[in-house]
Amino acid sequence: MHKNVHQYYLYILSNKYNGTLYIGVTNDLERRMFEHKNKLIEGFTKKYGLNRLIYFETYQYVNDAIKREKNMKKWKRQWKINLIEEENPIWKDLSKDWTCFQQ
Q: Tell me the C-alpha distance between 51 and 28, whole Å.
A: 15
Using CB atoms within 10 A of its CB, is residue 103 exposed (0-12), middle (13-18) or buried (19+)?
exposed
- Is 92 domain-assigned? yes
Is 69 domain-assigned?
A: yes
pTM for this prediction: 0.90
Task: Please report whether residue 1 resides in a domain.
Answer: no
Q: How many domains does the chain have?
A: 1
Name the region of 27 (left: φ>0; alpha: ψ -120 to 50; beta: rest).
alpha
Q: Which CATH number does the domain housing residue 87 bear?
A: 3.40.1440.10
Classify residue 61: in a domain, yes or no: yes
Report which secondary-structure segment, H or E, holds 25.
strand 21-26
Please check whether residue 85 lies inside any domain of the structure: yes
Look up the domain containing 34 and give its range: 8-101
- Is residue 70, in this structure, part of any structural domain at all? yes
> pLDDT tens per residue, the chain (103 residues)?
444 567 999 999 999 999 999 999 999 999 999 999 999 989 999 999 999 999 999 999 999 999 999 999 999 999 999 999 999 999 999 999 887 655 4
Closest CA to 22 of 77, 59, 62: 77
